[in-house]
Every structure is written in C-alpha cells, then in structure tokens.
Amino acid sequence: MLEAGPIEYTLQGFVAMKTARRPLLLIAPSLVFLTALFAWPLIFGIGQAFTGTGGPTAAHFQRMLDDPYFWPAARNTALLIVVLIPLQFAFALTMALLLRERPRFSGFYFYLWVVPLAISDLAAGLVWLAVFTDRGYLNSVLSSLGFDGYSFLSHENPASMFIAVVIAELWRATSLVLVIIVAGLQGIPKDYDEAAEVFGASYWQRLRHVILPQLRPSLQVALILRTILALETFAVAQALTGRNMPLLVGETYQWYDFLQNPSVAAAIALMILTVSLLAAAGYLRLMRDQTGSPR
C-alpha cells in the first residue's frame, strides 16, 4: 500500500544486488527496542481505552465525546495545523531563499534563525508568555507608544489568543523546516537556475518552475515531520492560554493528570495516533503519485 518513503527516490539499481536477509538483521535491534518501549505500553493503553470495570466498553470514548472541551480541542488542533503549517513553510522558504542570495553576515543570520531548534517547548512557552501577558513586553511597548494595553491571552479575545499561539509556534518550530529546506537548496545545481535566468525567466517563474519542483523531496520530509509534531503541540499553547485554547494532546494530559482517568486519556491519545497515521499515509500516497516527475 505505501510504496514510496522519503528515501525511496535515492535508490537506484544498487539495491538489487544485495541479499535479502541483511537489511532485516540491521533493522532488527531497533525493532526490538522500539517494540519493548513503545508497542507494549501502547497495547496496554489500547486495553485501557476499551475496557471498563465490567469488560469491554466504549464508555470512555463516549465520555471523551461528551466532554465540553473535546470538540473545541479537536477544532483548535485542526485549525492550528491548517493555519500554522502553510505559514511555517512560507516563512521557512522565505528565509532559505534570502540565505541563498548570500547576504553579508549570512552565517550569523543562519545561526540566529535556527536557535529555537534547541529550545524546549516549555522554555519557549515561558519566553513568549513574557511577551504576551497582560503586563508583558508587548503591552509595555504599546503603552509607551500611547496605545491602550490589550488582553491578548484573554478568553474574550479568541482571535488574538490564537494568533499569539501561532506566532510563538512559528518562532519555535520553523527552524526545523528551515534547516531541511536550506539543505535541500544546497543540493540544487545553480546551472538550471542560471540557464533559466539567461532565457529571461523572472524570479517568480524560476521559483515556481525550477526551484520548487527540485525542492519537493525536502519539502515532503519536512511536511510529514511537522504535521506529526504539530499534532503533538500543546506546551506552548498551555503556557500562553492555559485551558482557554484547549488542544488534543493538552486534553490527554488534563484527563490523565488532573482528572486521573487514564482510560479517557488513552482514548484521546488513540484518536491522535489515528489522525497521525492517516496524515502520514496520505502524504506518502501523495508522494508516490508525484515521484514520477524528473529530478
């Protein structure tokens, strides 16, 4: 079913010569390891989600669906992914193309722009809280410019709350996409681009017809990684908005931590897992349809 993986396009010919058993030996340790540490707890979790005091039950899922926070959480998570990922890719692409022009200090710029790669989501949440909180730095700037302060993170202003989370996530998580794209750009020979320029193609035409098609594999890797990671986002949103803007993974923690109901927590986690599975499979399928294009 899932034909083409992120690495598929790189293999040609060489593979046929190798014996069939060796790769399985090579991946065996990682399979054993991950099965022990993930699959077993996962099976335990599935068991938890589907069993109640009196045998198998769907009650935990019913409970999950009845909770007033569940649907807002699902909606926010979907909305965040739909808004954030295109923005993030546009932002990363802009940064990468700027760097490609080799401005002065490009080494320094690159350093600064990828720093968030090493910052934990909890720390990033704290950092942005200092900016957006009612008496934080943003309102300080506004008030010294003579404007009234604004409660960005209040539940009364869902739009500004959402925007604040998007900005913080854009800051925190774009660097991964940037690194992948910059790396991909380095692999594109300049000749094509220059040839197109000689034939009078405008910058946009070159971007559209020369650079982007060649970047596709990098973009695809970044897309899969970011979508799965975006589904997991919650620490930043929680630091900024508390439960005013619930997200699915945050709800898992809520059910587990505060409500001490691991069954419902496991039910939500399984939902997330299913969506991740569908997203990854969807992307892989998309990729297979397009790998026919020339590289």
Partner 1 sequence: MTQRVNRRTLLGAGLTVLAAPALAACSGVSTSGTGGEGSVDFLSTQFLPVEERQRFEKILADHVKAAKVGFNPVDASVFATTVQSQVDANQVKISLLGGLHGDLAPHKDRLIDLDDLAKGLTDRQFPADLLELGKFGGSTQKYIPWMQATYVLAINKAALQWLPSGADPQNLTYEQLLAWAKAGRTGNGGKPIFGFPAGPKGLYHRFFQGFLLPSFTGGQITTFRSPEATTAWQYMKDLWAQTAPASTNYDFMQEPLERGEVMIGFDHVARLVNAPKPKPDDWLMVPAPKGPKGLGYMIVIGGLAIPKGAPEPDKAKEVIKSLTQANVQVEVLRANAFFPVAKADLPGDLSKPIALEAAAVKAQQGAQGTIVSLPPVGLGAKDGEVAQIFKNCFKEICLDGKPVQQVLDAQAVKLNAILDEVKVSCWKPDPLSTPCRVL
Partner 2 sequence: MRRFALQVFCVAISLFMAAPIYLITLAAFSSRESLNEFPLPLVPTDPSTETLSGFLSSTGVIAGGVNSLMVGLNTVVLALLIGLPAGYAVARYAFRGRQPYQLFLLLTRALPIVVLSVPLARIFLTTGLYDTTYAVTLLHTALALPTTVLITAAVFVAVSPEQEEAAQIFGASPVQAFVRIVMPQALPGIAAAAVFTFVMSWNEVLGAAILTLNQRTLPAQVLSTLSFSPLAYRFAGGFALVVPALLFIAIMRKYLLNMWGTTLK
Q: Which is nearer to partner 2, 15 or 198 (CB)?
A: 15
Alpha-carbon distance of 246 to 253, in angstroms, equals 11
Is 191 one of the binding residues for partner 2 (CB under 8 A)? no
Q: Which is nearer to partner 1, 191 or 257 (CB)?
A: 257
- Give me the least distance between CB of 256 and partner 1, in Å please: 6
- Give me the least distance between CB of 252 and partner 2, in Å please: 5
| CB-CB neighbours of 68 under 10 Å | 8
Is 165 one of the binding residues for partner 2 (CB under 8 A)? no
- Give me the least distance between CB of 202 and partner 2, in Å please: 14
Q: Which is nearer to partner 2, 161 or 168 (CB)?
A: 168
Is 140 one of the binding residues for partner 2 (CB under 8 A)? yes
**What does the H/E/C string look like for 199-263?**
CCCCHHHHHHHHHHHHHHHHHHHHHHHHHHHHHHCCHHHHHHHCCCCCCHHHHHHHHHHCCCCHH
**Binding partner of residue 58 among partner 1, partner 2, none, CB under 5 to 8 Å per kind?**
none
Using the contact rule CB under 8 A, the part of the chain among 68-76, 77-85, 158-166, 212-220 near partner 2 is 212-220
Out of 119, 163, 166, 207, name the contact with partner 2 by CB under 8 A.
119
Cβ pair 59, 145 in contact under 8 A: no
- Give me the least distance between CB of 156 and partner 2, in Å please: 20
**Phi, psi torsion values for 24, nearest 5 degrees:** -65, -40
Out of 259, 277, 282, 293, name the contact with partner 2 by CB under 8 A.
277
Q: Which is nearer to partner 2, 2 or 65 (CB)?
A: 2
Rule CB under 8 A: which residues touch partner 1? 66, 68, 133-135, 151, 153-156, 238, 241-244, 253, 256-261
Cβ pair 227, 218 in contact under 8 A: no
Residue reference for tokens 């505060």 = 258
Identify the burial level of 289 via C-beta atoms within 10 angstroms of its C-beta, where 0-12 means exposed, 13-18 middle and 19 or more buried. Answer: exposed
- Give me the least distance between CB of 112 and partner 2, in Å please: 5
**Binding partner of residue 191 among partner 2, partner 1, none, CB under 5 to 8 Å per kind?**
none
Using the contact rule CB under 8 A, the part of the chain among 115-123, 152-160, 194-202, 204-212 near partner 2 is 115-123
**Binding partner of residue 194 among partner 2, partner 1, none, CB under 5 to 8 Å per kind?**
none
Out of 111, 259, 282, 293, name the contact with partner 2 by CB under 8 A.
111
Alpha-carbon distance of 33 to 27, in angstroms, equals 10
**Which residues lie below 8 Å from residue 240, measured CB to CB, with a gap of 6+?**
125, 128, 129, 132, 153, 161, 164, 165, 168
Using the Cα atoms of residue 77, residue 83, residue 88 and residue 93 in order, give the sign of their dihedral: positive
- Give me the least distance between CB of 159 and partner 2, in Å please: 20
Is 252 one of the binding residues for partner 2 (CB under 8 A)? yes
Residue reference for tokens 């080494």 = 107
- Give me the least distance between CB of 265 and partner 2, in Å please: 6
- Give me the least distance between CB of 117 and partner 1, in Å please: 23
Helix (H, G, I), strand (E, B) or coil at 11: coil
**Which residues lie below 8 Å from residue 117, measured CB to CB, with a gap of 6+?**
175, 176, 179
